[in-house]
Amino acid sequence: MSTYSFRHGQWVSFPAPAALHAGAHRTSKGEVVGIFSRGGKDAAGNTSPDHIAVVDPEGYNLVSSVGGIVLNVQVHPSQVSAAPLLDKRDIPERRREIPKSIELKP
């Protein structure tokens, strides 16, 4: 269970066996990388719960096919021991495009 309170859009990581979330991007320590998204109602009027979206090495959402239906791989923060991802080298390279004047927030 996560003990942190995450911000919307924050990079996070959590430990998971290699067989779980196959194809996920992992940190140098082998943890699964994802993005915390605060749930709620979107501009189109649909709702979603708080979740961590697991990403692939390109930074896109990891997807899984279940019974022929393609679903985004996501977990609830209460299901894993997630922590903020502080080393930007662990972010998928395509999504590290950070302005020179900005550092990742701790």
> Regarding beta strands 74-75 and 69-72, do their DSSP bridges make them parallel or antiparallel, or are they unpaired?
unpaired
- Residue 29 or 41: the one with the smaller Cβ distance to other proteins is 41
- List residues binding other proteins (CB under 8 A): 5, 7-11, 35, 37-48, 50, 53, 55, 59-61, 63, 72, 88, 91, 94-99, 101-102, 104-105
Q: Give least dist CB 102 to other proteins, A.
A: 5
CA distance 1 to 81: 5
Q: How far is the CB of 37 from other proteins (least distance, A)?
A: 5
DSSP 47-83: EE--EEEEB-TTSSBPEEEETTEEEE-EE-GGGS--E
Q: How far is the CB of 20 from other proteins (least distance, A)?
A: 19
**Residue with Cβ nearer other proteins (16 or 104):** 104
Closest approach, Cβ 46 to other proteins, in A, equals 4
Question: Residue 88 contacts by C-beta under 8 Å, 6 or more apart in sequence?
Answer: 96, 98, 104
- Residue 7 or 79: the one with the smaller Cβ distance to other proteins is 7
Q: 18 vs 38, which CB is nearer to other proteins? A: 38
Are residues 85 and 11 in contact, defined by beta-carbon separation less than 8 angstroms? yes
